[in-house]
């Protein structure tokens, strides 16, 4: 049984969904997603590199997501995870199926599958300035949900669509009316609860459904005037870069508009200068595919063509995984720490949503070690860097720490680096009463910081002529000097998790979720997080700057397998006894089709 979200009737909701909730759900799916047709030249030619309905959805769409209608892929998704997460996912799917398909008297395989295409797309449009508020401004400062929804269902078999959908059921809860706009017939209804629904068939190939009459007119205008997503800045150029032959999902986010609305919807508003910076960005898109060992996301983001900001094409990461041991739990690496910091400052200055304010970090370094972060430290850290968590070995002579936090960086000026490190030693000695011990490991000089109680707390030194390191916690010098033969780079889990397609790389991230979650607490970011962590083996991310305006990324989630799931059963949702009809929808080609009205 395929997902009920693919039903025409999935538009029938008593409340319009929150934009923030929709974007969050898409992020957890990492996605949500879209996949792959574009009707060009009035619908005569197809491009498999653009989402379904890209030439129909208006350019002001905040978000577009397309999901496969292939039941085999949905079955594959349900097999991932543990028995606990499998039950949780199935419960969600059953509720959607029963609410939007079964309880309306329809069956996906019988009523929808015979005529619908390989994917369907749902888009959220920006609120119209002239559209009246649906409810007063909430006291918590959030704005009302005024965004409109559009669903595009491609018709792969017109004859079957006509045969199945041309038999309306008994009308209850509302009446259907018909009108024409731009030469295209529109069917509309208003339920007894005041919900609106408009539907039209465009070019005999797409059934388009919207939640009000103005929205469906926007879609028709976008199609007629070629002012759709397909013609928006950077969309058609960048989507093909992440195309896949059989995607599970694809998605698109209008970054500046979505950020502006999402920021206004919460309690913490983004300052004007932060929103101004976000206007430099244009779009974020991704393709989600299912693989035997997990879920892969290939994405691309691009800047506004009129943006004053440009990206520095500098992809120099990709070597630090050769310098840490195979048992490393986490590693993040980048190509240029100076540039990484500068980019962080430019996007975080004055931003209340940043994890830590740049000025706080500067102040913290100054108060702790009496050094200027940028002048004394970052000034010589212009090369590749990494931050790793390495567990202590079971037979280690030191049991004071369970792991080591290892920082490595390629120095552009070793003399300046040596001066800063000596200053750091002096501060630890005079201000914190640490003993500064100079020794060697495998013939290389290192410096140990011995705490007042005699505990080895930190070590710093040089791996090569220009690679400096600082290890806090468990002693690991002998595991990184000399360069380990059994390095993280040849760890099978790292190789299968961290995407290798993008080379050279701008940054890499690896997390052994299974081992880390067992031994160390992780910050709570998701509801029911512990259950989902138990279902995940590892996470890998790779990014690369493609050109001065385009950034590519790839994410892989390594997941456990719960085995073949049981058939989806009925949920506890009460069936709706009185069904509403599917009206006959004439289209431009004279083929009658129908759409499902909202729930009574």
3-state secondary structure 342-378: HHHHHHHCCCCCCCCCHHHHHHHHHHHHCCCHHHHHH
Do 317 and 440 fall within a single domain?
A: yes
Do 13 and 92 fall within a single domain?
A: yes
Which alpha helices (H) appear in 410-547, and where do they start and end? 414-430, 477-480, 492-497, 513-519, 529-534
| Residue 587 within a domain | no
Least confident of 42-46, 185-189, 427-431, 469-473: 42-46
Residue 23's nearest CA partner among 32, 12, 15 is 32
Least confident of 137-141, 356-360, 401-405: 137-141
| Residue 218 within a domain | yes
Do 323 and 412 fall within a single domain?
A: yes
C-alpha pair distances (Å), 581 with each of 167, 172, 189, 216, 254: 9, 7, 11, 20, 35
Q: How confident is the model at residue 130 (pLDDT cuts 50, 70, 90)?
A: very low
Do 326 and 247 fall within a single domain?
A: no
Do 279 and 328 fall within a single domain?
A: no
| Residue 350 within a domain | yes
Enumerate residues 6+ apart whose C-beta is below 8 A from 25.
32
User: Tens of pLDDT along 252-291?
Assistant: 999 888 877 766 665 556 666 666 667 788 899 999 999 9
| Residue 212 within a domain | yes
Predicted confidence at residue 21, as pLDDT, reads: 35
Predicted confidence at residue 400, as pLDDT, reads: 81
Do 404 and 258 fall within a single domain?
A: no
pLDDT above 90 covers what percent of the chain? 52
CB atoms within 10 A of CB 470: 17
| Residue 119 within a domain | yes
Do 82 and 117 fall within a single domain?
A: yes
Task: Please give the helix or strand (H or E) that residue 490 lies within, else none.
Answer: none
Select from 261, 291, 321 the last residue of a domain: 291
Q: Give the range with max mean pLDDT: 82-96, 162-176, 213-227.
A: 213-227
Predicted confidence at residue 280, as pLDDT, reads: 82
The boundaries of the domain holding residue 173 are 4-131+139-291
Predicted confidence at residue 174, as pLDDT, reads: 64
Q: How confident is the model at residue 47 (pLDDT cuts 50, 70, 90)?
A: low
Do 322 and 433 fall within a single domain?
A: yes
Token pair listed for 586? 């004439």
Residue 253's nearest CA partner among 118, 68, 60 is 60
CA 152, 158, 163, 168 torsion: positive or negative?
Answer: positive
Q: Which residue has the higher pLDDT, 18 or 372?
A: 372
Q: Mind spelling out the 3-state secondary structure of 268-317? A: CCCCHHHHHHHCCEEEEEEEEEEECCEEEEEEEEEECCCCCCCCCCCCCE
Q: How many domains, the chain?
A: 2
| Residue 376 within a domain | yes
User: Tens of pLDDT along 50-66?
Assistant: 899 999 999 989 999 99
Do 273 and 362 fall within a single domain?
A: no
Do 247 and 395 fall within a single domain?
A: no
| Residue 576 within a domain | no
C-alpha pair distances (Å), 300 with each of 128, 241, 307, 424: 28, 8, 17, 41
CA angle 453, 456, 460 (to 5 degrees): 140
| Residue 570 within a domain | no
List the beta bridge partners of residue 333: 386, 508
Rounded to the nearest integer, the mean pLDDT of the chain is 80
Residue 55's nearest CA partner among 232, 234, 279 is 232
Do 164 and 200 fall within a single domain?
A: yes
Predicted confidence at residue 61, as pLDDT, reads: 93
């Amino acid at each position: 049984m395929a997902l009920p979200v693919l039903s025409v009737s999935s538009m029938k909701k008593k409340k319009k969904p929150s934009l923030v909730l929709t974007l969050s759900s898409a992020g957890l799916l990492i996605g949500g997603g879209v996949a792959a047709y574009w009707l060009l030249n009035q619908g005569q030619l197809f491009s498999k590199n653009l989402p379904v309905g890209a030439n129909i959805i208006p350019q002001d769409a905040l978000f577009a997501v397309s999901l496969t209608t292939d039941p085999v892929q949905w079955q594959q998704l349900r097999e991932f995870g543990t028995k606990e997460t499998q039950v949780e996912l199935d419960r969600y799917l059953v509720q959607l199926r029963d609410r939007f398909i079964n309880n309306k008297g329809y069956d996906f395989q019988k009523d929808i599958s015979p005529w619908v295409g390989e994917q369907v797309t749902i888009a959220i449009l920006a609120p119209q300035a002239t559209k009246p508020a649906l409810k007063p401004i909430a006291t918590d400062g959030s704005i009302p949900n005024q965004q409109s929804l559009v669903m595009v269902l491609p018709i792969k078999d017109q004859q079957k669509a006509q045969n199945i959908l041309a038999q309306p059921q008994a009308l209850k809860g509302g009446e259907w009316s018909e009108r024409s706009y731009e030469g295209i017939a529109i069917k509309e209804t208003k339920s007894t609860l005041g919900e609106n629904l408009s539907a039209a068939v465009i070019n005999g190939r797409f059934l388009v459904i919207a939640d009000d009459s103005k929205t469906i007119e926007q879609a028709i205008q976008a199609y007629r005037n070629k002012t759709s997503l397909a013609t928006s800045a950077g969309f058609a150029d960048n989507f093909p870069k992440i195309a896949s032959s059989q995607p599970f999902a694809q998605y698109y986010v209008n970054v500046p508009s979505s950020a502006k609305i999402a920021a206004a919807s919460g309690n913490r508003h983004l300052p004007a200068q932060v929103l101004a910076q976000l206007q430099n960005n244009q779009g974020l898109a991704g393709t989600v595919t299912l693989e035997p060992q997990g879920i892969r996301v290939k994405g691309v983001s691009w800047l506004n063509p009129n943006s004053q900001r440009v990206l520095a094409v500098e992809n120099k990461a990709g070597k630090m995984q050769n310098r840490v041991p195979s048992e490393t739990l986490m590693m993040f690496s980048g190509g240029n720490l100076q540039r990484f910091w500068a980019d962080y400052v430019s996007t975080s200055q004055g931003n209340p949503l940043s994890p830590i304010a740049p000025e706080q970090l500067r102040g913290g370094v100054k108060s702790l070690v009496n050094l200027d972060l940028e002048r004394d430290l970052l000034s010589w850290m212009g090369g590749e860097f990494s931050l790793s968590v390495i567990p202590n070995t079971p037979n280690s002579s030191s049991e004071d720490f369970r792991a080591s936090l290892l920082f490595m960086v390629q120095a552009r000026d070793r003399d300046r680096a040596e001066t800063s490190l000596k200053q750091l030693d002096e501060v630890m000695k005079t201000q914190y009463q640490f003993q500064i011990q100079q020794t060697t490991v495998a013939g290389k000089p290192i410096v140990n910081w011995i705490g007042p109680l005699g505990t080895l707390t930190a070590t710093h030194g040089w791996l090569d002529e220009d690679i400096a390191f600082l290890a806090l916690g468990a002693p690991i010098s002998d595991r990184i000097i000399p360069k380990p033969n059994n390095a993280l780079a040849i760890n099978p889990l790292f190789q299968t998790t961290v995407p290798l397609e993008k080379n050279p790389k701008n940054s890499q991230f690896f997390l052994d979720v299974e081992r880390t979650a067992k031994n160390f607490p992780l910050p709570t970011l998701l509801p029911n997080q512990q259950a989902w962590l138990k279902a995940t083996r590892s996470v890998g991310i790779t990014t690369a700057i493609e050109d001065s305006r385009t950034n590519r990324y790839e994410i892989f989630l390594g997941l456990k397998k719960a085995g073949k799931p049981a058939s989806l059963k009925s949920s506890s949702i009460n069936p709706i006894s009185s069904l509403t009809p599917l009206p006959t929808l004439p289209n431009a080609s004279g083929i009658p089709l129908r759409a499902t009205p909202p729930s009574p």
